[in-house]
Structure 1
Amino acid sequence: MANQGYTLLCLLVNFLNFLTRTEFDIFGHCNSPVTLSRRSFPKDFIFGTSSSAYQYEGATNEDGRGPSIWDIFAHDFSDRIADGSNGDVAEEFYHRYEDDVKVMKNLGFDAFRFSISWTRVLPSGKLSGGVNLKGINYYNNLINELLSNGLEPFVTLLQFDPPQALEDEYGGFRTVRDGVPIGPVAASSWLYVYPRGIQDVLLYLKSEYNNPLVYITENGMDDYNNETLPLQKALNDSMRIDYYHRHLWFLYKAIGDGANVKGYFAWSFLDNYEWGSGYTVRFGINFVDYSDGLKRYLKNSAKWFQNFLHT
């Protein structure tokens, strides 16, 4: 039951923007308290941040990894990516995870949610095609690094990057988009901001699914990647801070109403490759300088979380 609730919540929260609603009062009049901190939540509540393999790792042709559908799509149909880019390098998390994990620890997070690249472990998509031990070792080392820094690993088995070999053999997942806007749009055209929706979904789960154990594994918003902005202005992401504050307030209210929520993961730890938007939008609480060796800088939202988690 817990696993069913976990999966359902992940889907519902990530696609809140497609629910049929007509209310647009999302930034004001939510009566959120001036002071909201870790102490507002249960002692065993987990706060984490998130990533996904293709959007973060890079190293797509290293150490025996096979091609995913996104490796092929981003290269063969680059005209369908906003900036013609791909995830070949991304944030180089594959080579830089040790430094990034230390930042997570310093910010005060309890956990890190990451996905496993299917083709880094099973290059052909199947056990019959062989297991890539270098891929196994990478994830084993990442998990050990998290544990040694006091961070709990949360693993997503698949995040939109199934093997191309299985796509060729079986065809892919197909879905139909159907819905209306529910609030102001963020930088991604599919993302509408509606903080109260997080409370509504949780209470719906409580009512309709016997209040399952829930971890919110992804919640965040993007803004446009304005390359003309000076660095210090780019780090001043006040709208993102407001977004997190209001969503956490409605989460706090849902828990107060009895929702069985045990964790919340902010998306995303770093600016990342954002699928069809490429690098034209930024989701991270940490800034990645794509023009200067992928250097990382704390955004104000990261500092906000640090204060929130240490208060």
Structure 2
Amino acid sequence: MGTNAKSMASTSIIDGLEKKRKIEDEWRSIYSAKQPLNRQDFPPHFTFGVATAAFQVEGASREDGRGLSIWDAFTLVPGKICDGSNADIAVDQYHRYKEDIELIAKLGFKAYRFSISWSRIFPDGLGTKINPEGKRHYNNVINALIDKDIQPYVTLYHWDLPLNLFESMGGWVNEEIVKYFAVYAETCFSSFGDRVKNWITINEPLQTAVNGYCTGVYAPGRREHSSGEPYLVAHHQLLAHAEAVSIYNKKYKDKQGGQIGLVVDCEWSEALSDRVEDRNAAARRLDFQLGWYLDPIYYGDYPKSMQEKLGDFLPKFSERDKELLKNSVDFIGLNHYTARFVRHAADNPEHNDFYRVQEAERIAEWEGGETIGEKAGSSWLYMVPWGVRKLLNYISLRYNNPPIYITENGMDDEDDGMSPLDEMLDDKLRVSYYKGYLAAVHQAIRDGADVRGYFAWSLLDNFEWQLGYTKRFGIIYVDYKNGLERHPKSSAYWFLRFLKAEEDKNDKLDY
């Protein structure tokens, strides 16, 4: 390495260490300013809840008329699920929903975000004949929640597309799916909207587009046309969202008095340095996560950076599309877990089309080599609470301070099947995670962000998609070896005390 190169590298490391010091000093001052944080530090009408998804928890995959989904088929393909498992039973919430709702109530949460299985309502996805058993099940769940003074937050689509819609027409690559989603959505509005006042159309369309149709690690596992299909899939999901919202606003909103939104997922992207190219790369990375879905809703088209990088691969909106999409959310749902440093990389080492075209490399270490935060169970998840404050403020600034619900936030533990139960229940790191992230959310509210709710992910350990049962995100431990018994972890007891604004270490759940 020449003298100039050594000098530049040395300067880069010094700049990185200075940035690290500033961020950490600011974070410490916020985190230690008021301890302990509790429910009373948040606005009176702020919603605290827990979240799950149908395919991950319900089980009963072939009971009471439910049709198969793309994830049922995906789990049968050898090598797709790392532990070879499936969600035929999952954690059996289909049969144990009353037990789980009782737990939610005892912990003090006032909201439960769950998803409806499309193929449990319409087994073939087409909307020609409703499955009465599926409708009855969700009516029972909703009624049980209302009886416990818990508000249902219902997600219409959390990745489990009816298999028939994929096999017969290609699923989300076919624009015809928009009308089928609209029929399904309206059926849910008319069936459950007298009690459900909070609707989410689609969960994390980014993950369906990228992991389902680019990397292939999620159902339906496509990667053959990764340069174009992800953007087509995203486009049709946006149109499906807009169509459903239009129906809700025209026919149901006034008489039912509810609200409807879209859930996006985003990790915060922090420029690795103050170099212009790194700042631009970090901004571009956020465009490819958030702007991809929110810019069409708030500004009528995809971000300029995506248009420049993708050209004709990026579909075009018609004038009708733009009109339907315009301001088609009452709130933004944000799923957030972690953060990354980002630097410009013309030759991105992440070898798939979606990341390569962004020319933005994601990095988990400071310039000096220290990791960005303590690592959780999954390789992608680091504890970086200051990231959520920055992200909330970014959304507020870019989209004119919209109402935001944090619809997922949490961390996972590795489950190698060898750790004793008492160790798995004493999840100190998860408690620290929630303390840190809630402190950062509290600070973002003080900054002026219109954050109205927070949902911990997840209520229960469950089927973690391609990771099977090897990772545990729950605040409730599920004993997979002993009848799926539920055991509250230390994090569950922490939330119990937090929501009661008490510090009684002797709180126990009568369970």
TM-score, reference length from structure 2: 0.54
5 Å-filtered alignment, 1:1-311, equals 29=28, 31-32=30-31, 33-77=34-78, 79-128=79-128, 130-168=129-167, 169-172=169-172, 173-175=208-210, 177-178=354-355, 179-182=361-364, 183-184=372-373, 185-311=375-501
Q: Cα distance 1:40–1:126, how it changes in 2: closer, same or farther (>3 A)?
A: same
- Tell me, in whole angstroms, the C-alpha distance in 1 between the residues paired with 2:108 and 2:24: 28
1:47·1:264 contact (CA, 8 Å) conserved in 2? yes
- Tell me, in whole angstroms, the C-alpha distance in 2 between the residues paired with 1:206 and 1:304: 29
Q: Cα distance 1:155–1:23, how it changes in 2: closer, same or farther (>3 A)?
A: farther
Q: Deviations for 1:163-186, whole angstroms, at most 9, x for unmatched residues?
A: 111112124453255351343442
Structure with the bigger percentage of helix: 2
Two-structure CA RMSD over aligned residues (Å): 1.9
What SS class does the counterpart of residue 276 from structure 1 fall into? Answer: helix
- Structure 2 alignment gaps of length 5 or more: 1-18, 173-207, 215-353, 356-360, 365-371, 502-511
What SS class does the counterpart of residue 157 from structure 1 fall into? Answer: strand
- Tell me, in whole angstroms, the C-alpha distance in 2 between the residues paired with 1:163 and 1:23: 47
Deviation at 1:23, TM superposition (A): 6.1
What SS class does the counterpart of residue 165 from structure 2 fall into? Answer: helix
1:66·1:120 contact (CA, 8 Å) conserved in 2? yes
- Tell me, in whole angstroms, the C-alpha distance in 2 between the residues paired with 1:34 and 1:66: 49
- Tell me, in whole angstroms, the C-alpha distance in 2 between the residues paired with 1:250 and 1:216: 12
- Tell me, in whole angstroms, the C-alpha distance in 1 between the residues paired with 2:64 and 2:404: 35
2:249 corresponds to which residue? none
2:30·2:443 contact (CA, 8 Å) conserved in 1? no
Q: Deviations for 1:176-198, whole angstroms, at most 9, x for unmatched residues?
A: 55351343442223333321121
The range that moved more, 173-182 or 115-124, is 173-182
- Tell me, in whole angstroms, the C-alpha distance in 1 between the residues paired with 2:455 and 2:161: 23
Larger RCO (CA within 8 A; separation ≥ 6): 1
Deviation at 1:26, TM superposition (A): 7.5
Q: Cα distance 1:233–1:159, how it changes in 2: closer, same or farther (>3 A)?
A: same
Aligned residues: 288
1:188·1:277 contact (CA, 8 Å) conserved in 2? no
What SS class does the counterpart of residue 263 from structure 1 fall into? Answer: strand
2:50·2:456 contact (CA, 8 Å) conserved in 1? yes
- Give 1 or 2 for the bigger CA radius of gyration: 2
- Tell me, in whole angstroms, the C-alpha distance in 2 between the residues paired with 1:90 and 1:166: 23
The range that moved more, 108-117 or 169-178, is 169-178
1:110·1:151 contact (CA, 8 Å) conserved in 2? yes
Instruction: Spell out structure 1 runs of 4+ moving beyond 4 A.
Output: 22-28
1:60·1:67 contact (CA, 8 Å) conserved in 2? yes
Q: Cα distance 1:212–1:149, how it changes in 2: closer, same or farther (>3 A)?
A: same
1:50·1:265 contact (CA, 8 Å) conserved in 2? yes
